[in-house]
């Protein structure tokens, strides 16, 4: 089951949201995915998957949109990615494990299959948010990124949504440093907006 049957690939333009809370002194986009092909964050920082709708980000890191904690930032990226598509694997057993409360299984699947997916030109895995699935059995797309996906995404805006979320340095893919003030804010988010395929 670690290598489920029926995985296809899809290449498309994406608009992805990413939420970070408890950010200490900077946002380093090169921490979005690290070897061995799994997501990680600097100590103390928590973050969501990159999601195709904003609300899923808030659910994933247990942040209330009306009362986000200090040093919380919402970012948006656009780009074109080729993803291994886990959304329609025809297996109830796989779905139960992948979207269950034990995140170690989904991480194991991600690591185990990443080499083959990259050999097929994939730079990411498209699946549903386990947090949203546990909340309402909803199927809300999220994208897990391989390191190869990072330079294909362009940062569009940065919104310091938490109280006491000041201007912050951002390390872009590849290492260039900018300021969050170099990007526009996103003042009125569209609710439940996600990419259709």
74, 67, 78: which is closest to 47 by C-alpha?
74
Tens of pLDDT, residue by residue over 69-124, are 999 999 999 999 999 888 877 666 776 677 667 767 777 776 777 677 778 888 88
Q: How confident is the model at residue 42 (pLDDT cuts 50, 70, 90)?
A: low
Q: What is the pLDDT of residues 151-191, one digit of tens each?
A: 899 999 999 998 889 999 999 988 899 999 999 988 654 44
Residue 130's pLDDT band (boundaries 50, 70, 90)? confident
| Separation between Cα atoms, residue 155 and residue 140, nearest integer Å | 22
Task: Identify the pLDDT of residue 191.
Answer: 43
Contacts 24+ apart (CB under 8 A), 103-106: 103/130, 106/130
**Full DSSP string of 79-111:** EEEEEEE-TT-S-HHHHHHHTSS-HHHHHHHHH
What pTM, to 2 d.p., does this model score?
0.81
Alpha-carbon distance values, 10 to 112, 125, 157 (Å): 20, 10, 26
């Amino acid at each position: 089951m670690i290598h489920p049957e029926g995985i296809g690939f899809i290449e498309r333009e994406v608009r992805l949201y990413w939420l970070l809370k408890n950010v200490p002194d900077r946002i380093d986009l090169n921490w979005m995915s690290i070897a061995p092909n799994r997501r990680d964050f600097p100590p103390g920082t928590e973050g969501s998957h990159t999601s195709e709708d904003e609300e899923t980000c808030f659910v994933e890191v247990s942040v209330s949109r009306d009362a986000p904690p200090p040093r919380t930032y919402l970012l948006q990226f656009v780009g074109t990615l080729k993803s291994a598509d886990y959304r329609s694997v025809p297996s109830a057993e796989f779905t139960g494990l992948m979207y269950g409360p034990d995140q170690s299984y989904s991480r194991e699947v991600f690591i185990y299959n990443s080499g083959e997916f990259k050999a097929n030109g994939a730079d990411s895995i498209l699946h549903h948010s386990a947090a949203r699935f546990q909340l309402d059995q909803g199927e809300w797309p999220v994208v897990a990124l391989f390191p190869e996906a990072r330079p294909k995404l362009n940062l569009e805006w940065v919104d310091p949504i938490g109280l006491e979320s000041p201007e912050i340095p951002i390390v872009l893919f590849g290492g260039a440093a900018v300021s969050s003030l170099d990007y526009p804010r996103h003042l009125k988010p569209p609710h439940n907006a996600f990419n259709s395929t």
